[in-house]
Amino acid sequence: MLKKILIGLAIFLLIAFIAFKISTRPTATDDGAYIPSPLALKIAVPPATDFDNTTYDNPHRGNKKVLMVCTEERYMTMANGKKFSTGNHPVEMMVPAMHLRNAGFEIDIVTPTGKPVAVEMWAMPSDDKYINDFYPEFKKKLENPGSLSSFVRNSMTDSTDYVGVFIPGGHGAMLGLPENQDLNKVIQWNHKNDMHMLAICHGPAALLAAGMNGDKDSYIYNGYKIASFPDAVDAQGPMIGYNPGAMPWIYGERLNKLGVTIINKAADATVHMDRKLISGASPQAANAFGKLAATELLKAVN
């Protein structure tokens, strides 16, 4: 009898192990890349957000805008050579954008060369009414952004149309932006004109563009504290199949070397404001991040 019980238990554990391995295996896509595993999607992509559709007293009635800088690159080559299908996270773009809209601000979207924004469509909250209503119109902007390069050449100098710059997250923020010279100029322009900088989740990786020379003493954000996606959580990604391998480089570590302190240890709802830099830790922070950004931008223009 005991032998039968032990055999049955062994079979059950074997089946459970196989099921776990399958559920944590990143899903291959037709283009040879990978999206997160079924388990990772279940853990990290809830069907709806906590967007609360805040109504702002005295919304902006003027022409001030926010410049949203997005990635146009989709594939992150991991340390093992496998490609992660990424881009900008839809929640981290749209939830703050809806708050900025409610506060009366227009959003201009740019990518480095004007190619369409790469979006992590697998992270779309399918049952979220607000997102579903907002996305069709927002999609037109994502598919037809301006060129960051053109903005720097033609629109940036002496422009009074903007009140801030917004860099959404998603691992795509680590692709093409941290080493972009035009973004370097935009960050310098933003800082010089005392505008707000908004960055959420992996978005702060793009702020490395202002520190490409590695000089901590001259780095704009030396001494700042931010909320951002922790390196330690990124390191755990392959364990649940969120991404198909270890990270190719560690962005938080590089920010630390330039004098930036990440205050949160978990990928949670933490938001933080240090001077004119507003930051958030993860998609869970998108609603609070958007509300804080909208509130502070209204203070700036009013």
User: Which pLDDT tens digit goes with each residue over 185-222?
Assistant: 999 999 999 999 999 999 999 999 999 988 999 999 99
Give the C-alpha separation, 231 to 246, whole Å. 11
Tell me the residue range of the domain where 129 lies.
Answer: 60-301
Instruction: Tell me whether residue 279 is in a domain.
Output: yes
Position 1 confidence tier, pLDDT thresholds 50, 70, 90? low
Mean pLDDT of the chain: 93
**Residue 6 confidence (pLDDT):** 52
State the DSSP H helix or E strand holding residue 163, giving kind and residue range, or none if neither.
Answer: strand 162-167
Position 73 confidence tier, pLDDT thresholds 50, 70, 90? very high
- Cβ atoms of 187 and 209 within 8 Å: the answer is yes
Give the C-alpha separation, 220 to 185, whole Å. 12
Instruction: Tell me whether residue 13 is in a domain.
Output: no
Instruction: Tell me whether residue 70 is in a domain.
Output: yes
Average pLDDT on 256-278 reads 98
Instruction: Tell me whether residue 246 is in a domain.
Output: yes
CATH number assigned to the domain comprising residue 197: 3.40.50.880
**227: phi > 0 → left, psi -120 to 50 → alpha, else beta; which?**
beta
For residues 224 and 2, the model is more confident at: 224
Give the C-alpha separation, 199 to 166, whole Å. 6
233 pLDDT higher than 80? yes
**Catalytic: 201?**
yes
Catalytic residue, candidates 91, 195, 201, 297: 201
How many other C-beta atoms can be found within 10 angstroms of the C-beta atom of residue 78? 20
Give the C-alpha separation, 75 to 251, whole Å. 17
Structural domains of the chain, count: 1
Instruction: Tell me whether residue 16 is in a domain.
Output: no
Cut 0.85: pTM above it: yes
Instruction: Tell me whether residue 20 is in a domain.
Output: no
Average pLDDT on 248-270 reads 98
Q: Which two tokens stand for residue 37?
A: 């595993």
Instruction: Tell me whether residue 38 is in a domain.
Output: no
Instruction: Tell me whether residue 82 is in a domain.
Output: yes
Q: Which two tokens stand for residue 51?
A: 């967007």
| Residues present in the chain in total | 302
- pLDDT tens-digit series, residues 129-149: 999 999 999 999 999 999 999
Position 158 confidence tier, pLDDT thresholds 50, 70, 90? low
Sheet strand arrangement including 34-35 = 27-28, 34-35, 83-85, 75-77
Position 164 confidence tier, pLDDT thresholds 50, 70, 90? very high
Helices (H), the chain: 2-23, 38-44, 90-102, 129-143, 148-154, 181-192, 231-240, 251-257, 286-301
